[in-house]
Structure 1
Amino acid sequence: MTKVLALDLDGTLINENNEIIGGRETLSLLENLQVEGYEVVVVTGRLDHDIIHIAKKYNLNIKYRISQNGAVMQDEHGIKAKALNKEVALKVYKYIKDKNLRVEMNTISNRYWHSERDPEFPREFYDSSNVIEDFTQVINYQPVIIFLLIGDMEEINKVKGYIYENFDDVEAVKTSDKTLEILPKGVSKGLALKEMYPKAEIISIGDSESDFSMFPYSKASYYVGRSSFGKADFDVPSIKEALENILKEEKNG
């Protein structure tokens, strides 16, 4: 049976400076798990080209990739994507574009922004951004994968509620307290992972709401985010501790 280690990127494998959390020790543990037969797949909200960069920079043997929170997958058949319905995308954009939030939009390989953003939030390894005043023409001519909203948590929550009340064929997923992604219905990291590896033994590691969808399809899963989630305080491992535990369990059979 194929053994798969599914890793989120931001907040799980890399920090806000795009450095590996745990440094060389984490990379060594990943190498050891690959020796033990684990196939590493990165499952991220970022675009595919950022996974490619991370894999090359840190010499990670990554066979397949899942990006844009499960909407885009690269496997042995090539790259396939699940896009928003064009008319729905136009309606969603009409609602969100004038909100007191930063609105960004992704196609399969590009980001579209109304204005330049802080290049540190987060830094792209390959700059695929385009700054345009209005996204309408792009929506009419290109398949849209995701809208990303950034801003105040209260406003984010209001938009999330509105989307669920008024649109039946889209999802609204918080990737942090201040970020919301609007994407096609039925798209999630977990469903993409299950589609890519229907018969594999999966272990998943993540740090945010978008990662939770991987957990039901996993033999074991590790939450490596904040130590306080909602009203419950609990201890969480670091990525290094999670990998150490997986390796220990593997060696113990």
Structure 2
Amino acid sequence: MKNNVVVFDLDGTLLDCDNHIIGGTETLALLQKLQANNYRLAICTGRLDHDIVAINNLYDLNINERISQNGAVFYQGDHLEATLLDKHSALALNQLLKNYPNVRVEMNTISNRYWHSDRDPDFPKEFYDSSIITQQDYGDIIPFQPVVLFLIVGQMEDLKAIQKEIIGRYENVDAIMTSATSLEVVPQGISKGKALERMYPEACVYAIGDSESDTSMAQYAKQFYYAGEGFDDGMKVNTITEALEDIVKKAGI
């Protein structure tokens, strides 16, 4: 029997802007059909793991394999693996970012987000609130916590300057623009695609996404379905429902 896995993103792929399942009961029925035919399901997202758990429980998806923080953290059952920023780099980055007072800096550990102030109400909300709002310097926290990444929010001009400085100074971290107003500083080599490579080296993987961060999965999937714009290395679909229908049809189930 083939080791088949269907991996999909959350926001914009499985969930719409109101956090409802795109395709509704039809999508859920297709996921259940795949599971009934021994296809494993996995969610791969930029969110923290607890948000995957929340959606899994809300819609009774019965998914035990989860990739979070854009590939830096993943669970298979009760087994956890995470790629962290090394302590020296994290402390140095924290000091560097103090030179940019006009940006917001958040720090992610495996399970929590550390903030110095509340988020803007228009900022995407977590499904499970793990935020820790503190006036304590992140430098006092880093030695005691598993730091995964820094999220920097601000104007494009500031973010580009930070990105250039970090790339020029550090060999073991990446600075990735995740939107026009956000920059993520992560351990080098982290991506959703690399997470698939590590989790499913022998599996037949079908991957579904809608944004630039999802496109790294194309290299490691038998078939990559893309519901976004501006990427040609995959099968263009309108929704996750359309992708799941294609998988089911080709499998003859």
Same fold? TM cut 0.5: yes
Structure 2 portions without partners, runs of 5+: none
1:220 to partner: Cα distance: 0.6
1:110 corresponds in structure 2 to 112
Counterpart CA distance in 2 for 1:158 and 1:64 is 37
Per-residue deviation, residues 153-180 of structure 1 (Å, max 9, x unmatched): 3433333333222210012223333222
1:47 to partner: Cα distance: 1.0
Per-residue deviation, residues 217-243 of structure 1 (Å, max 9, x unmatched): 000101212x3x39xxxx752222222
Q: Retained in 2: the 8 A contact 1:16–1:122?
A: no
> What does 1:1-253 correspond to in 2, within 5 Å?
1-76=2-77, 78-97=79-98, 98-119=100-121, 121-133=123-135, 134-225=137-228, 227=229, 229=230, 236-251=237-252
Check 1:158–1:28 CA distance in 2 against 1; reply closer, same or farther (3 A cut): farther
Per-residue deviation, residues 200-253 of structure 1 (Å, max 9, x unmatched): 00011112222122110000101212x3x39xxxx752222222222222228x
1:58 to partner: Cα distance: 0.6
1:63 to partner: Cα distance: 2.1
Letter in 1 for 2:12: G
Check 1:66–1:148 CA distance in 2 against 1; reply closer, same or farther (3 A cut): same
Structure 1 portions without partners, runs of 5+: none
Counterpart CA distance in 1 for 2:134 and 2:109 is 14
Counterpart CA distance in 1 for 2:159 and 2:239 is 28
Check 1:238–1:141 CA distance in 2 against 1; reply closer, same or farther (3 A cut): same
Counterpart CA distance in 2 for 1:239 and 1:212 is 15
Comparing 176-185 with 216-225, greater Cα deviation is found at: 176-185
Q: Which runs of 4+ in 1 moved over 4 A?
A: none
Give 3-state SS (helix, strand or coil) of 1:203's partner: strand
Counterpart CA distance in 2 for 1:115 and 1:60 is 34
Comparing 130-139 with 91-100, greater Cα deviation is found at: 91-100
Letter in 1 for 2:102: N
Check 1:174–1:27 CA distance in 2 against 1; reply closer, same or farther (3 A cut): farther
Counterpart CA distance in 1 for 2:19 and 2:49 is 15
- How many residues align? The count is 247
Check 1:179–1:16 CA distance in 2 against 1; reply closer, same or farther (3 A cut): farther
1:120 to partner: Cα distance: 5.3
Counterpart CA distance in 2 for 1:21 and 1:173 is 28
Q: Retained in 2: the 8 A contact 1:41–1:62?
A: yes
Counterpart CA distance in 1 for 2:49 and 2:95 is 27
Give 3-state SS (helix, strand or coil) of 2:64's partner: strand
Structure 1 vs Structure 2: percent identity of aligned residues?
50
Give 3-state SS (helix, strand or coil) of 2:60's partner: coil
Check 1:15–1:95 CA distance in 2 against 1; reply closer, same or farther (3 A cut): farther
When the two structures are superposed, what TM-score results if normalisation uses the length of structure 1?
Answer: 0.89
